[in-house]
Amino acid sequence: MATAVNSFAIAGIDGYRVEAETVTMYGHPSITIVGLGDTAIKESRQRLEAAINYAGYEFPKMKIAINLAPGDIKKSGSHFDLSMAVGLLVETSQLTVDGETLASYGFIGELSFNALLRPCGGVLSMVIAAREAGIKKLIIPADNIKEASLVQGIEVFGFNDLKSIANYLEGKENYVAPAVETGSPSIGWNKALDFLDVQGQDALIQHIVVAAAGGHNILMSGSPGCGKSMIAKRMDTILPDMTEEEALEVTKIFSVAGLLRYRDQLITQRPFRAPHHNASMNSLVGGGNPAVPGEISLAHNGVLFLDEIAEFNKKSLNALRQPMEDKIVTISRVKSIVTFHCNFMLVAAMNPCPCGYYGQDRCKCSDYEVLKYRQKISGPILDRIDLQKYVPPVNYLKLVPQSKGKSSAELREKVQFARKIQQNRFADIPAVNCNAQMTEALVKNFCQLDEAGNRLLQLAYDRYRYSARTFHKFLKLARTFADLDGSAKIRKQDVSGALLARDLDKEQSRLLVVRG
């Protein structure tokens, strides 16, 4: 009868249970690993033999077959080493553990040639999967113990080598928790950056606060040096604190991607990702084999900053259309489909024309050239951006040292105030934490307009012929304007503020193109 040992694998950002079934047979000495494993799993044969011999056990001179069940799902990673080693030792009676005890444990870890356990990525997701599968105890590398301990309801044991695990399972040694250094304390934001440094853009900062308070996408268009990038890089300093659920989602994604900086704590700072404009489509939305999260998933519950958005590949930008709307991205392969969360806030910056100085005397671009440049960003992408603001050049007199704006701490208080209102409003609604995440049904429930506001929206529609999506975005924006003032109702001034957030629509309506 084959020996079955519990282990776990990753599909997207979620874990699932895998049984490592081991059987030995008489025949030519060999080891075969089946179950659609990748190269790292195939190479486990050498690590297993070296680790078992180094730990003082005998690697069997028999025909060995190991099956990672279910066998119809592709698996990747070197963390199956430990489960296969334990199964082989139990199968050859070198490790005495009864079946009931073995079934209550799960095993995760990569083995070195010296029988040491190396840390693995994605442990947080696998621990959650173990708890959901009813596994009571989990044995993992000591370096992953802090990360795994973030999950409640399951016993986690961290070890440094294979021999210690074998002695513990046989009752020869008591478990001693490993001494693991605690990671550096998490900070709320980068304190070297502060909105206090931004001068002469008070009107724009008001809309930045609105975007942060409601989680709205924003595009800033302006000449070089007017402060677009400077403002965007300070965006995370005013974002509200993440809820525990949001922090766990972000930590899982970074753990799967192998980017978890400190393994002993949840990520509490909202992510800020700023890929370069030469980034490929796969690096933005995710991909590869096996599929890994892209920049939009790494920005989940945080900010995705696309500087010089018009310079990005048009195909890559259009690939963001569905994720921006659905807040998830599904990556399909021939034999696998994985889904990553990507509920990000898009902050983009661009020049208004090819030379960058549209509206100034030095600009010589024709209306045709301006429109052609702006069409690098497709209409559907622009339609998904709630705020589109023109950033004017800063007056020299407003750059004097005595001139000071509001600090990030002051702006963050306003954002926290509005976000608290939204969290209370959506307390009983799953996966909705801010106004930008409202569905059409929620918009109807929470964004009722008075007669004056309706008339104002009707006038705007008659002039610019907005889409239904844009109409709903106006209502979400108006709801955020009202929340910032603590108003339970959406007033006419809130609707007016939302309509004034679409500068590009007004600009482009004035451009004249002569067709031949």
Residue with tokens 């056990």: 57
- pLDDT at residue 243, rounded to an integer: 86
User: Looking at residues 452-474, what average pLDDT do you find?
Assistant: 86
- pLDDT at residue 187, rounded to an integer: 39
- pLDDT at residue 403, rounded to an integer: 59
Q: Closest Cα partner for 301 from 339, 241, 256, 246?
A: 246
Q: Give the model confidence (pLDDT) of 88-129 as tens digits.
A: 999 999 999 999 999 999 999 999 999 999 999 899 999 999
- pLDDT at residue 185, rounded to an integer: 41
Q: Which residue has the higher pLDDT, 403 or 437?
A: 437
Q: What are the beta bridge partners of residue 24?
A: 64
| Whether pLDDT at 84 is above 90 | yes
Beta strands 328-332 and 337-341, pairing class? antiparallel
Name the packing angle between helices 81-91 and 44-54 (round to 10°).
60
Q: How confident is the model at residue 507 (pLDDT cuts 50, 70, 90)?
A: low
User: Looking at residues 377-388, what average pLDDT do you find?
Assistant: 91
Cα–Cα dist 431/267, whole Å? 18
Q: Give the model confidence (pLDDT) of 408-455 as tens digits.
A: 999 999 999 999 999 999 999 988 989 999 999 999 999 988 888 888
Query: Omega into 70 within 30° of 0, i.e. cis?
Result: yes
| Whether pLDDT at 39 is above 90 | yes
Question: Strand 303-306's sheet: what is its strand order?
Answer: 272-273, 303-306, 345-350, 218-222, 387-391
Question: How far, in Å, are 180, 181, 188, 303 from residue 185 at the CA level?
Answer: 15, 12, 10, 22
Question: How far, in Å, are 300, 363, 364 from residue 355 at the CA level?
Answer: 34, 7, 8
- Are the beta carbons of 442 and 450 closer than 8 angstroms? no
Classify each residue of 404-417 as buried b or exposed e, where b means 16 or more C-beta atoms within 10 Å of its C-beta.
Answer: ebbebeebbebbbe
User: Looking at residues 180-196, what average pLDDT do you find?
Assistant: 60
- pLDDT at residue 188, rounded to an integer: 43
- pLDDT at residue 266, rounded to an integer: 81
- Are the beta carbons of 233 and 347 closer than 8 angstroms? no
Cα–Cα dist 343/251, whole Å? 14
Q: How confident is the model at residue 505 (pLDDT cuts 50, 70, 90)?
A: low
Q: Give the model confidence (pLDDT) of 322-349 as tens digits.
A: 999 999 999 987 777 889 999 999 999 9
User: Looking at residues 256-265, what average pLDDT do you find?
Assistant: 78
Q: What is the pTM of this model?
A: 0.87
The amino acid occupying position 282 is N
The mean-pLDDT minimum among 42-51, 302-311, 398-407, 498-507 falls in: 398-407
